[in-house]
Amino acid sequence: MAKYDELPGKDHIIRHVPYGKLRRDENEKTIGIEFTAFQLREEDQGNLSTTWLEYTQRSRDEQLIESLKYIRTSRAASAKSALAIAKVEKVKSVCVPRRVRVLHDPETGNPAHAIVTSFPTDEVALLEALASDVWSEFILVGQVDASGKAR
Amino acid sequence: MVERTYEQLLFEKLSRLSVEMSRIAMHLNEDWRSGIFSQLSTMLSTEEWDRADKLPDSSAFITFLRLITYWRFRKRPGIGVSTDGNTVASWSQNGDRVTVECFPNDQIRWVLGRSAGGELETAAGRTNLTRLRDVISPYGIQEWVFDG
């Protein structure tokens, strides 16, 4: 796949979410993602940074381990942070009518890097829908690390 | 002038927020005090803090403290920080969610997501913290958010 090609709708993208943007219950158990995980910074230029899970054609566990390795080339990912996973076609359907696109955008150190363009960062209710319904699957980084060590 | 390390900045911020919390400690039970401090200290540790984010804004944290002492909530909230450094408090029940982002001077942004007939319904708005119960009451979730 070439740079800026659109990812297949059935594939998945991962967003790394730090501890402070994870949703916890009253017992401090992580139960999901906060909408704040999708607030962009100025330097993001309207694009949400993600990693393409299916970049490598391996088992799901191996894809998660590989994706985490790529993510760690640009940022720290502690055991209590998480990888949130979303299906590409669901991201696009929930963001209608913004017509977002999910594009392969390889970077140095992360050949699986992907961006969601025209991301609706100011529409908080939409960010909540993305957090609660689209990026609803997540795995703690500590679990991915443990699975990698077990191999 | 001595330059402070990032670790020192995080420690100083945690100390500052702890001092603010101590001012209203008499209004919180031990479970709430220890639970909030535990989340803050983890969040502001060198391992967990995302250095690209702004450090928590003390004025916004004071709004959070005023929020949890002005209203009686049924459960202790999960606590986080937005990209801009605003304190975020959240409550969840059976898949329904309420999140409050606190800004300085008692201003808040509330965001809710709930299942309505099998479909996700979301809503959001900005108001003063004293209006929270009124503005979310039309959504029928206040009975599990508030105590009494």
Contacts with B2 (C-beta within 8 Å, 6 or more apart), sequence order: none
Tokens standing for B139? 């959504």
Instruction: Give chain A's end-to-end CA distance (angstroms, integer).
Output: 29
Tell whether B81 is within 8 A of chain A (Cβ).
yes
Give me the pLDDT at residue B142, please. 86
Size of interface A-B (CB pairs under 8 A): 100
- Examine the pLDDT at A6 and tell me if it is beyond 80: yes
Tell whether B127 is within 8 A of chain A (Cβ).
no
Q: Which of B99, B101, B108, B121 to mutate to test the interface with A (most CBs of A within 10 A)?
A: B99
Residues B20-59: tens digit of each pLDDT:
999 999 999 999 999 999 999 999 999 999 888 899 999 9
Please tell me the distance in Å from B23's CA to the nearest CA on chain A.
Answer: 22
Tell whether B124 is within 8 A of chain A (Cβ).
yes
- Examine the pLDDT at A114 and tell me if it is beyond 70: yes
Residues A121-141: tens digit of each pLDDT:
889 999 999 999 999 899 999
| Residues 40 through 79 of chain B touching chain A, CB cutoff 8 Å | 42-43, 47-50, 52-53, 75-79
Task: Using CA coordinates, name the residue in chain A closest to B47.
Answer: A78
Tokens standing for A115? 């961006």
Region for residue A102 given its phi and psi (left: phi exceeds 0; alpha: psi -120 to 50; beta: otherwise): beta
Using alpha carbons, list the distances in angstroms from residue A55 to A113, A117, A137: 9, 19, 19
Cα separation, B148 vs B146, whole angstroms = 6
Q: What is the ipTM of this complex?
A: 0.93
Give me the pLDDT at residue B92, please. 95
Residues A47-100: tens digit of each pLDDT:
999 999 999 999 999 999 999 999 999 999 999 999 999 999 999 999 887 789
Give me the pLDDT at residue A146, please. 93
Give me the pLDDT at residue B116, please. 84
Are the CB atoms for B124 and B118 separated by under 8 Å? no
Cα separation, A105 vs A49, whole angstroms = 9
Residue B4 phi/psi, 5° resolution? -90, 145
Tokens standing for A73? 């080339």
HSE-up of B138 (CA within 13 Å, CB side)? 6
Residues of chain B with pLDDT under 50: none
- Residue A148, helix vs strand vs coil: helix
Residue among B77, B51, B52 nearest B145 (CA): B77
Contact: A36, B122; criterion CB under 8 Å: no
Residue among A83, A114, A86, A85 nearest A101 (CA): A114
Tokens standing for A87? 């299906």
Edge-to-edge strand list for the sheet holding A113-116: A102-104, A113-116, A48-52, A12-17, A82-87, A137-140
For the CA atoms of A15, A17, A23, A29, what is the dihedral angle to 10 degrees? Answer: 110
Q: Which pTM does this prediction carry?
A: 0.94
Contact: B80, A23; criterion CB under 8 Å: yes
Please tell me the distance in Å from B8's CA to the nearest CA on chain A.
Answer: 19
Give me the pLDDT at residue A97, please. 73
Contact: A34, B42; criterion CB under 8 Å: no
Q: Which of B83, B112, B114, B141 to mutate to test the interface with A (most CBs of A within 10 A)?
A: B83
Residue among B143, B4, B3 nearest B74 (CA): B143
Give me the pLDDT at residue B118, please. 83
Residues A32-45: tens digit of each pLDDT:
999 999 999 888 99
Contact: A21, B111; criterion CB under 8 Å: no
